[in-house]
């Protein structure tokens, strides 16, 4: 049996694919803010070592990363050096990996990797640095916009 090539169907499918890809990509170039009320400190196996109740605000712009934990004394900021972004459903299903050199108020620089992962509508951010191997900081977003 011969399959009939349908030009209109092919064009429509390509337009939908491009529109969906553009919407997902555009979301990655916008400023996003994640807020959380609990910070978990985990080991390299993902086991929570301790938790701390605190309000955390993470802001990601197309060029910068800012992390403000419970108090401004530990605020960290840095330029984004690389970013990958693959969200099927914006801020709900997908993943971003951001690399940045961040520094705190004391001026100490850290080479950070921030992984933001959305699964089943739950968004988790994991922060790790080259300088603290085996230790990660993880927050679950109360709000991600």
Q: Is the pLDDT of residue 65 over 90?
A: yes
The answer on pLDDT for 12 being more than 90 is: no
As to burial, measured by CB atoms within 10 angstroms (0-12 exposed, 13-18 middle, 19+ buried), residue 65 is buried
Torsion-angle region of residue 10: left (phi > 0), alpha (psi -120 to 50) or beta?
alpha
CA dist., res. 11 & res. 135, Å (int):
49
Please compute the mean of the pLDDT values over residues 119-127 and round it to a whole number.
91
What is the model's pTM?
0.77
Q: Which residue has the tokens 């001026």?
A: 107
Mean of pLDDT values over 130-139: 90
In three-state secondary structure terms, 83 is: strand
What is the pLDDT, as a whole number, of residue 14? 37
């Amino acid at each position: 049996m011969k399959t009939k090539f349908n030009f209109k169907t092919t064009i429509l499918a390509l337009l939908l694919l491009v529109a969906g890809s553009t919407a997902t990509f555009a979301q990655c170039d916008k400023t996003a803010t994640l807020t959380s009320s609990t910070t978990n400190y985990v080991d390299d196996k993902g086991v929570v070592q301790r938790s701390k109740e605190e309000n955390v605000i993470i802001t990601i712009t197309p060029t910068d990363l800012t992390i403000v934990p419970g108090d401004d004394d530990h605020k960290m900021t840095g330029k984004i050096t690389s970013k990958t972004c693959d969200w099927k459903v914006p801020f709900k299903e997908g993943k971003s990996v951001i690399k940045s050199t961040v520094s705190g108020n004391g001026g100490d620089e850290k080479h950070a990797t921030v992984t933001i992962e959305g699964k089943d509508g739950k968004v988790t951010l994991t922060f790790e640095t080259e300088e603290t191997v085996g230790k990660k900081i993880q927050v679950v977003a109360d709000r991600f916009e």
